[in-house]
C-alpha cells in the first residue's frame, strides 16, 4: 500500500481527482470503478473543473459504481444514480449508456447482482477503482463480516452506516436497510485502487485498514492483499497511524 498523507482534506481530494483525470487522459477507453458519499462530492467537483480546464474527453470511458441502495426508486433524490448524475455524469461528455450503477429495486436482487458482476466482466474489468471508507471500515457497502472473496450481492446495512448516511435522507425511517454492493473479491480484481479518507471520524477505520490484521471485521483491510493501492488521507484521518 502506498500511503499519502496530505495537510488538508482539500489536498487529498485534489490529488484523487488528478489521478482520475490522468487515467482518463492516458487511456480514453478506461473502465473506472466509482464511489459515492460526502468525500466524493468534492473529488467529483474538482474532477469536473479539471475536465473543463483540460478539455478531457469522457465519451469512451465506462464507469461502474460500487453500490446502490435497494428498495428506493432510481430517481429518489438520495439514490446513488441521482448522486452520480448530479455530481458527475451530467457535467461531462460521458455516454450515459456506459454508466453502470447497480439496480435500486426489483423482484430479484440476486439476479440484478449477478447481472452487474457479469457486466463488469464483459467490460474487461475495472482499470482504476475509486473508494471511500466508512467509519466502520466498510468499502462500497461491504459491511464488517463481509466475505473477503465476495462478489456483487445484497447486503443489510448496519445501524452505524444507516446513521452515518441519515444526513442524505429526510428521516431515519427513509434510510434504506439494504443495498446492492460490488463484493470485496470484485474490488480486489481491479487493476488499481485509490482510496480516500478524510476527517477524524475515519481515523480508527484507517488505522485498521493499514495497520490491522487482514480481517472481515474491517473490510478495507482486504486492500492489504491488493498489489496496487494508493491511500490518500488528510492529517485528521491519519492521526492514529
Beta carbon of residue 198, minimum distance to ligand GLP (angstroms, whole number) = 8
Please identify, using beta-carbon distances, which residue of 79 and 165 lies nearer to ligand GLP.
165
Whether residue 67 lies in the annotated active site: yes
Asked if 133 interacts with ligand GLP (CB under 6 A), we say yes
**143 to 162, contacts with ligand GLP by CB under 6 A?**
161
Q: Which of 76, 117, 127, 138 is flagged as catalytic?
A: 138
Residue 95 annotated among the catalytic residues of the structure: no
- How far apart, in whole angstroms, are the C-alpha atoms of residue 132 and residue 140? 8
The sign one gets for the Cα dihedral 226, 227, 228, 230 is positive
As given in the structure block, the three cell numbers for residue 183 are 463484493
| Cα–Cα distance for residue pair 44/85, rounded to 1 Å | 11
129 belongs to the binding site for ligand GLP (CB under 6 A)? no
Distance set, CA 83 to CA 5, 101, 194, 201 (Å): 27, 11, 20, 22
Determine, following the binding rule CB under 6 A, whether residue 65 of this chain makes contact with ligand GLP: no
Q: Which position among 65, 76, 136, 142 bears the catalytic label? A: 136
Q: Which of 15, 143, 165, 234 is catalytic?
A: 143
- Retrieve residue 238's grid coordinates: 491519519
Burial class (CB in 10 A: 0-12, 13-18, 19+), 212: middle
Tell me if residue 138 is catalytic: yes
Q: Any idea of the CA torsion for 73, 75, 80, 81, to the nearest 10 degrees?
A: 120
Q: Supply 47's cell numbers.
A: 474532477
Q: Which of 28, 38, 106, 124 binds ligand GLP (CB under 6 A)?
A: 38
Q: Residue 140 interacts with ligand GLP (CB under 6 A)? A: yes
Residues touching ligand GLP: how many (CB under 6 A)?
Answer: 14
Task: State the minimum distance, in angstroms, from the CB of residue 104 to ligand GLP.
Answer: 13
DSSP letter assigned to residue 202: G
**186 binds ligand GLP per the rule CB under 6 A:** no
The binding site for ligand GLP (CB under 6 A) comprises 35-39, 66-67, 132-134, 140-141, 161, 165
Amino acid at each position: 500500500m502506498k500511503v499519502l498523507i496530505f495537510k488538508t482534506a482539500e489536498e487529498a481530494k485534489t490529488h484523487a481527482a488528478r489521478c482520475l483525470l490522468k487515467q482518463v487522459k492516458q487511456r480514453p477507453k478506461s473502465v473506472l470503478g466509482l464511489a459515492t458519499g460526502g468525500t466524493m462530492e468534492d473529488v467529483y467537483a474538482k474532477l469536473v473543473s479539471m475536465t473543463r480546464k483540460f478539455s478531457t474527453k469522457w465519451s469512451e470511458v465506462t464507469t461502474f459504481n460500487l453500490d446502490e441502495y435497494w428498495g428506493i426508486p432510481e430517481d429518489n433524490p438520495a439514490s446513488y444514480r441521482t448522486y452520480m448524475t448530479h455530481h458527475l455524469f451530467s457535467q461531462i461528455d460521458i455516454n450515459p449508456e456506459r454508466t453502470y450503477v447497480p439496480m435500486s429495486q426489483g423482484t430479484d436482487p440476486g439476479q440484478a447482482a449477478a447481472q452487474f458482476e457479469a457486466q463488469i466482466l464483459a467490460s474487461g474489468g475495472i482499470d482504476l477503482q475509486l473508494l471511500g471508507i466508512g467509519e466502520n471500515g466498510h468499502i462500497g457497502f461491504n459491511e464488517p463480516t463481509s466475505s473477503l472473496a465476495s462478489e456483487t450481492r445484497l447486503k443489510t446495512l448496519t445501524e452505524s452506516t444507516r446513521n452515518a448516511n441519515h444526513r442524505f435522507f429526510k428521516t431515519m425511517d427513509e434510510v434504506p436497510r439494504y443495498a446492492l454492493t460490488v463484493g470485496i473479491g470484485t474490488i480486489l480484481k481491479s487493476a488499481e485502487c485509490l482510496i480516500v479518507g478524510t476527517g477524524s471520524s475515519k481515523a480508527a477505520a484507517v488505522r485498521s485498514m493499514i495497520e490491522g490484521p487482514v480481517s472481515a471485521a474491517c473490510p478495507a483491510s482486504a486492500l492489504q492483499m491488493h498489489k496496487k493501492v494508493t491511500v490518500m488521507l488528510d492529517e485528521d484521518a491519519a492521526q492514529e497511524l
